[in-house]
Structures are given as C-alpha cells and as structure tokens.
C-alpha cells in the first residue's frame, strides 16, 4: 500500500501525499470505504501501469436460488411439508443473502399480517435458530409448523396481527425452531 501511495504521488504532482489507509479504503469500497472515483481509477491504474478497466472488475452476482418448499401457517400450528427437505421444489432467486441455507415459504393466514400478509412469501435462515426476543421464526411441534414472533419472560410465541382473535402460544420447551424469518416479499400486482 505504501509503495502504491508513493508511486501515485510521483506520477501526479498535484497529489502531495496519499496515506496508505486511503488506498486501503479505496480498495475495500462499500459503506466503510471510499468509492473509487474516475480520478482515483486513473491515478491508481497509471501508478500500477495497468488499463483502468482492469481495476473495474464486474461485481460478483450475489443472487442465489432458494427452494420454495411449501407454505406455513400464520395462525395455529398446522400440518405442512417437512421444511428440511427442499429437494425437487421450485427455486426463487434472492439477492443479498449471506449463505445458502435458506428456504422460502408462502404465508397462509393472518396472525403475522402486520409484517407478512396472507399470500406473502418469507425467506427463512435455517442456520439462525438462536431465539432472540422480538424476532420472527418458524416453529415446529412434531409435523406441525407456525410462523410467530418470539418473546421471553415467559417464553412464548406471539402473533403480530391486526386480527385480535389470534392467541399467544406459551412454550413448554418441546417446540423446535426451524429458522429465523429474515425477509418478507409481498406481491402487489394482485392487490
């Protein structure tokens, strides 16, 4: 980094000093780094004796295919397809997910309609099973599943609904966490 910073200063007399940390920030980019402007692309490419296009690698495609496994009840626990078996199911493209252990489920019911209305699609992180208050999860009790918000003291599964008929489910410790709901997709085309 220091060598590149010195070389930029040699080539461009208008640049008196470049901190190695500046080069590092330019290289990292993103929210904590600096954006690589045309001026910096020119300076760095000349200092490195490369074509500017070599510094402009295309972004990696961060879209993955997530299995649309089945549906989940946003209401009482209901029988559903085993969400651990996303084989031979339709795939949904999803961008910005950190790894590949996700499933997608269609929401049926209105017990979570303040964040996921009936018919919406939710993405579930199967790796994230650590219960944290105020987060939304898919829970399984034998072969029945539900989508609810977790609360503690006492441990319970709460609806987040405009419908007052839905009741809180108190946990007896036998309910399994399938994964945390990390994204909700609502199709407004049919609304």
What CATH number has the domain bearing residue 131?
2.10.109.10
Pull the structure tokens for residue 170. 């108190």
Question: Comparing C-alpha atoms, which of 145, 84, 153 is closest to residue 111?
Answer: 145
Domain boundary among 55, 76, 98: 55
Please report whether residue 190 resides in a domain. no
Please report whether residue 173 resides in a domain. yes
Please report whether residue 191 resides in a domain. no
Q: Are residues 140 and 80 in the same domain?
A: yes
How many CA atoms lie within 13 Å of 16's alpha carbon, on the beta-carbon side? 0
Task: Please report the pLDDT score of residue 18 as a whole number.
Answer: 66
Outline where 12-131 has alpha helix (H). Answer: 20-28, 38-48
Query: Cα–Cα distance between 158 and 150 in angstroms, integer?
Result: 6
Q: What is the pLDDT along the chain (191 residues), one digit of tens a residue?
A: 566 666 666 666 666 666 667 666 666 654 455 566 677 677 777 777 777 766 665 445 568 888 888 877 776 666 665 555 556 788 888 888 888 789 999 999 999 999 999 999 999 999 999 999 999 999 988 878 889 999 999 999 999 999 999 999 887 778 899 999 999 998 887 65
Pull the structure tokens for residue 66. 């997530």
Question: Comparing C-alpha atoms, which of 174, 172, 173, 184 is closest to residue 147?
Answer: 184
Pull the structure tokens for residue 29. 């980019």
The β-bridge partners of 4 are none
Task: Please report the pLDDT score of residue 45 as a whole number.
Answer: 74
Pull the structure tokens for residue 100. 């590949």
Angle, CA 87 vertex, CA 84 and CA 90 arms, to 5°: 110
The β-bridge partners of 65 are 93
Domain boundary among 30, 55, 80: 55
Q: Are residues 95 and 171 in the same domain?
A: yes
Q: Are residues 92 and 172 in the same domain?
A: yes
Question: Comparing C-alpha atoms, which of 88, 107, 90 is closest to residue 184?
Answer: 107
Q: Are residues 104 and 71 in the same domain?
A: yes
Q: Are residues 43 and 100 in the same domain?
A: no
Q: Are residues 76 and 30 in the same domain?
A: no
Q: Are residues 20 and 75 in the same domain?
A: no
* CA dihedral sign of residues 91, 125, 111, 69: positive
Task: Please report the pLDDT score of residue 59 as a whole number.
Answer: 47
Q: Are residues 108 and 164 in the same domain?
A: yes
Q: In which domain, by residue range, is 67 found?
A: 63-185
Q: Are residues 76 and 125 in the same domain?
A: yes
Q: Are residues 96 and 43 in the same domain?
A: no
Please report whether residue 35 resides in a domain. yes
- CB of 131 within 8 A of CB of 137? yes
Please tell me the pTM assigned to this model. 0.64
Q: Count of domains in the chain? A: 2
Please report whether residue 49 resides in a domain. yes
Task: Please report the pLDDT score of residue 132 as a whole number.
Answer: 95
């Amino acid at each position: 980094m220091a060598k590149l910073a010195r070389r930029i200063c040699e080539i461009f007399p208008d640049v008196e000093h470049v901190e190695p940390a500046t080069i590092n920030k330019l290289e990292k980019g993103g929210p904590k780094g600096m954006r690589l402007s045309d001026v910096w692309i020119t300076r760095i490419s000349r200092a490195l004796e490369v074509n500017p296009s070599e510094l402009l690698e295309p972004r990696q495609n961060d879209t993955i295919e997530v299995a649309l496994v089945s549906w989940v009840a946003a209401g009482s626990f209901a029988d559903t397809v085993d969400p651990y078996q996303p084989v031979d199911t339709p795939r949904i493209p999803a961008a910005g997910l950190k790894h590949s252990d996700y499933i997608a489920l269609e929401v049926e019911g209105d017990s979570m309609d303040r964040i996921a209305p009936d018919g919406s699609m939710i993405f579930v992180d199967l790796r994230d099973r650590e219960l944290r208050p105020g987060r939304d999860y898919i829970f399984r009790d034998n072969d029945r599943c539900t989508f609810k918000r977790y609360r503690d003291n006492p441990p319970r599964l709460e609806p987040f609904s405009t419908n007052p008929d839905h009741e809180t489910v108190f946990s007896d410790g036998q309910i399994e966490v399938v994964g945390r709901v990390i994204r909700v997709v609502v199709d407004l085309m049919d609304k």
